[in-house]
Amino acid sequence: MTPLWLLHGFLGAPASWAGVLEHLARPARATWLFGHGAPPREVPRDFWAAVDALAAEMSEPALVVGYSMGGRLALGLACRYPERVRGVVAIGARLGLDEAARCARIGWEESLARKLEREGLPSFVEAWEKLPLFASQAALPAAKLAAQRAVRLGHDASALARCLRALGTGRMPRLALAPHAIVVRGELDPGAEEAPLPDRTLAGVGHNPLIEAPETLARLLDTELRTLENPT
C-alpha cells in the first residue's frame, strides 16, 4: 500500500486528523508543519523551500492529503515533485491569488502576524475563531470546539507569525493544478470563490471537514486515494 501523508492547516496539528483517522481504512503519517508544535518546527524562507523540505522527508513515493495551508503545500509537492507524489487530495486549498488579491492578502496576513507578536496567542485565537471562515462550526459540540481550541493554543506565537510571513496564502506562487490532484471543499466554505473548482464538494460542510464531518471525509478519501493509487 502506498504511504499516506497528512498535512494539517494553520493553527492545527497532527492531532487535527484524529477524527478522520478513526474512520480511514489505511494507515497514515500526520506530520507537523512549519512554525507549529512545541518546540515549533523551523520555518523555511518561503513556500518552495517548505515544499522542498517536505519532499526531502519522502523516502518513497507517497500519497498526500492536505487541509488549507497543508493543502496548498500538498499542491506544491504535486507540481514540483511529481515523481515522489503519487497523488494529492487538497481540502479547502487555493492555487494562489492574482496580483491585486495577493497584495491585499499579504497586508492582511502581516496584520495577523503583528497581532500575534503584540497581543499573544490567546487573543489571536479568540479573534481567529470569529472569522466568517469558521461560522459553520457554531453548531458543533462544545467539547469538540474546546479540543480544537486547545490544539490552537499549543503553539508559539512568534513562530506562527514567521509562518504567516513565509507561507501565508499571499506569499505562495500561483500554481497549476497537477493532473494527479483532487480538490475537495465544503459546500459552505466562504473562501470557495478563491479556490480552484472542486472535484468533490461535501454537502452541508464548511471550511474544515476534519472537525465538521470527519467520517464523511474519511469515506471520500478512501475512495479517492484508491483511484489515485490505481489509475485506469
For the chain, give every domain's residue range. Answer: 4-229
Chain centroid, CA 209 distance in Å:
11
Domain spanning 4-229, CATH class: alpha beta
Determine the pLDDT at residue 199.
Answer: 86
CB 140 within 8 A of CB 211: yes
Q: How far is CA 219 from CA 9, 48, 85, 115, 156, in A?
A: 20, 31, 21, 38, 34
- What average pLDDT does range 12-38 have in this prediction? 97
CA proximity to 133, closest of 206, 196, 224: 206
Determine the pLDDT at residue 98.
Answer: 87
- Find the helix or strand (DSSP H, E) in which 201 lies: strand 200-202
CB 199 within 8 A of CB 82: no
- What average pLDDT does range 52-71 have in this prediction? 96
Q: Sheet of 29-31: strands edge to edge? A: 29-31, 4-7, 62-67, 85-91, 181-186, 200-202
- What average pLDDT does range 124-147 have in this prediction? 95
At 166-188, the pLDDT tens digits run 999 999 999 988 889 999 999 99
Half-sphere exposure of 13 (CA within 13 A, CB side): 16
Report d(CA 41, CA 29) in Å as an integer: 16
Report d(CA 150, CA 160) in Å as an integer: 15
- Find the helix or strand (DSSP H, E) in which 18 lies: helix 18-21
Q: To the nearest whole number, what is the mean pLDDT of the chain?
A: 94
